[in-house]
Structure 1
Amino acid sequence: MTTMKAVEIKGGKGPIENLFINEIPRPKIDHAKALIKVKAFGLNRMDLLQREGMYPVPPQAPSTLGVEFSGTIEELAGESEKGFKRGDEVFGLAYGGAYAEYIAVSTHMLLHKPDELSWEQCAGIPETWITALQAMYLIGEFAPGKSILWHAGASAVSIAGQQLSKANGASAVFATARSDDKCDFCVKELGAKAAYNTETADWSAEVLKATEGKGVDIIVDYIGPATFAGNLNAAARDGRIVNLASLSGAKLKPEMAQPDFSNFVRKRIRIEGSSLRSRDELYQGKLRDQLHDHALPKFKDGSFKVHIEKVFPWEQIQEAHRLMESNKTKGKIICTIA
């Protein structure tokens, strides 16, 4: 077989209606890569941006969308990592290409699928949980006893992050969201100490009140300009602000709260931006190992949960993208391939 079915975008970019399933060449493998027959793949917000031509895709990525998947190993190249064989059930992270029947991916980014988890659950772990681990540890310098705030608390990465923070000894876990329902979810389902509705509350003032004026040690942010001033206000001395996206735009607008830049010096705040997808394989591989060692056992015993909003057959990829664009989800959107 030299071809396969994959989701493509008419014209290379565009609205949801441009997504369709087409016949394309099946990828070839070399070096340490494996060819995976995909069972399920997870959607991420970067997919929406890439579909619209607004995401900087790394040069090694195929044009096909999708970075996380689960499936079975069909073939292995000669330099593949030991411990994998044809027929193994796996899940993993890729630079792209998961919206397809087959994907070529480095074995350094694969994990064996636990029997305790479904294909759908495994497809929702790699990008989400590795991003949370990266933000917490490699950038935010998390350690037991530190407090942490996760913006967009009902997003998949923050759902993972709150679980990781609580399990790994955070002194307090906070979250924000844009609805009371999502805030309740963070507190009741994920164990956050408190969650604040950014539409109705002065969340940074509430964080300061809850921490007796100290602020939080780590803030993980995807919003950008709209939360910038609040982040500087809510951060503790020597606080770390990790910026992973800029969903409120690229620039501060007049109607947004204006930042007090004296906070940078007075509190010795460090802000750092990052993108997991642009990192090299060695960097991503270290995070895969961390996921394997620190998170996978807790998935197996049920301590960590993959919260799935909805599963679609991949023929309904347009409906899946439409649901993600609605911003009404609490957890992952997964597509399955029969």
Structure 2
Amino acid sequence: MYAIAIREPGDPDVLEWTEHPDPRPGPGEVVIDVAASAVNRADLSQRQGNYPPPKGASEIPGLECSGTIAELGEGVTGWQVGDEVCALLAGGGYAERVAVPAAQVLPKPSGVDLVEAAGLPEVACTVWSNVVMEAGLRSGQLLLVHGGAGGIGTCAIQIAKALGARVAATAGSAENLRVCRDLGADLVINHRDEDFVARVKEVGGADVVLDNMGASYLDRNLSALAPDGHLAVIGMQGGRKAELDLGKMLVKRLHISVLGLRGRPVDGPNGKGAIVADVRERLWPLVEQGAVRTLVHDRVPMPEAARAHAALEAGGVRGKILLIRS
């Protein structure tokens, strides 16, 4: 099979479409004949040498895919060869085929195009596990999401609205703010020239903040939270280290979680299998109803993954860039 290889850490041009051995399913795994994958910021970090795959995972980038089951490993039940699916991966999505634990596979939602389904698993599992399973967002509460027009942000806005929550979203341009508003955001904030803390406080503070910035936003996020609020950190685009005001947390009874997805084990109560199962049970019906969908910015042939990476790095991407198997 052919897949994308990272020749060496560096700029997008280090991505090469080369021949690789065909994957074989281990016990409890399936092999998927890939229709599409999607580009996530974690892929850019891996290409730059800053985010190596977990031990035992494929060196090929790509944290999600869609396609058709081609082979079943020993002990796999509930799936058949020919099933149309999408899957959460620890790596390997930028390829013609990928092996994945069966517990991380989801059925293609009815009414969703097979290619577009490739943009769902990573963002859906990230948002759901952090905002719903960990932070407990519920109807009537306020979610503040940073980078509302990106892949994570567009998914988070839709999930929160589908659950009956209110949403405040930050973005850096008029067009990105429009995207957030069109998806249902109740309050949109231009982070370049507005104080998001003051704007959110005007409406009572956020019950949950979903943050991809990390250190540079830490104190402001805590200030934007309402009493008993929860800060869910999922990225470090703004740095890794910051000073934490425990007094502010104590007075407002705040909670912080910093939870990754890729490095979790498959099994166990906090494993990826449990997250995927909860997503399938509680979120997939909302996807099939059309309340949550993949916002597609562009479709790029998989051998041209370097072009997709350059576009995401340049900014202005709204939703997801899909990599289509050629």
Partner of 1:161: 156
Name the CA distance, whole Å, in 1 between partners of 2:11 and 2:141. 42
Q: How does 1:238-277 map to 2 (within 5 A)?
A: 238-252=228-242, 261-277=246-262
Query: Quick check: 1:200 aligned with 2:196?
Result: no
Name the CA distance, whole Å, in 2 between partners of 1:30 and 1:24. 18
Name the CA distance, whole Å, in 2 between partners of 1:330 and 1:247. 17
Q: Deviations over 1:212-266 (max 9, x none)?
A: xxx11111101112212211111111111010111012245xxxxx875531121
Structure with bigger RCO (C-alpha 8 Å, 6+ apart): 2
Q: Deviations over 1:127-168 (max 9, x none)?
A: 011101011122212232322111111111121111111111
- Aligned partner of 1:7 among 1, 4, 8: 4
Name the CA distance, whole Å, in 1 between partners of 2:13 and 2:162. 41
Query: Quick check: 1:30 aligned with 2:26?
Result: yes
- Aligned partner of 2:172 among 152, 164, 178: 178
Kindly indicate whether the alpha-carbon contact (under 8 Å) linking 1:230 and 1:259 is maintained by their aligned counterparts in 2: no
- Aligned partner of 1:191 among 184, 187, 207: 184
Code of the aligned partner of 1:270: H
Q: Deviations over 1:30-77 (max 9, x none)?
A: 111111111100111000000011014211211100010011111111
Kindly indicate whether the alpha-carbon contact (under 8 Å) linking 1:312 and 1:334 is maintained by their aligned counterparts in 2: yes
Name the CA distance, whole Å, in 1 between partners of 2:223 and 2:85. 43
Partner of 1:278: 263
Partner of 1:41: 37
Change in 2 beyond 3 A, CA 1:202/1:88: same
Code of the aligned partner of 2:265: D
* SS at structure 1 position matched to 2:183: coil
* SS at structure 2 position matched to 1:134: helix
* SS at structure 2 position matched to 1:275: coil
Query: Quick check: 1:331 aligned with 2:319?
Result: yes
Change in 2 beyond 3 A, CA 1:67/1:259: closer
* SS at structure 2 position matched to 1:25: coil
Kindly indicate whether the alpha-carbon contact (under 8 Å) linking 1:219 and 1:241 is maintained by their aligned counterparts in 2: yes
CA-atom RMSD in angstroms: 1.5
* SS at structure 1 position matched to 2:20: strand
Cα offset for 1:120? 2.1
Query: Quick check: 1:229 aligned with 2:219?
Result: yes
- Aligned partner of 1:320 among 308, 315, 324: 308
TM-score, normalised by the number of residues in structure 1 = 0.92
Partner of 1:255: none
The range that moved more, 53-62 or 64-73, is 53-62
Give the ranges of 4+ consecutive aligned residues of structure 1 lying more than 6 Å apart after TM superposition.
Answer: none
- Aligned partner of 1:310 among 294, 298, 321: 298
* SS at structure 2 position matched to 1:281: coil
* SS at structure 2 position matched to 1:148: strand
- Structure 2 residues not aligned, in runs of 5+: none
Name the CA distance, whole Å, in 2 between partners of 1:45 and 1:328. 13
Name the CA distance, whole Å, in 1 between partners of 2:324 and 2:149. 23
Q: How many residues align?
A: 323
Kindly indicate whether the alpha-carbon contact (under 8 Å) linking 1:232 and 1:259 is maintained by their aligned counterparts in 2: no
Q: How does 1:129-148 map to 2 (within 5 A)?
A: 129-148=124-143
Name the CA distance, whole Å, in 2 between partners of 1:268 and 1:157. 27
- Structure 1 residues not aligned, in runs of 5+: 253-257
Code of the aligned partner of 2:140: G
Kindly indicate whether the alpha-carbon contact (under 8 Å) linking 1:204 and 1:233 is maintained by their aligned counterparts in 2: yes
Code of the aligned partner of 2:312: M
- Aligned partner of 2:210 among 197, 220, 235: 220
Cα offset for 1:21? 0.6
Change in 2 beyond 3 A, CA 1:53/1:190: same
The range that moved more, 54-63 or 30-39, is 54-63
- Aligned partner of 2:203 among 206, 210, 227: 210
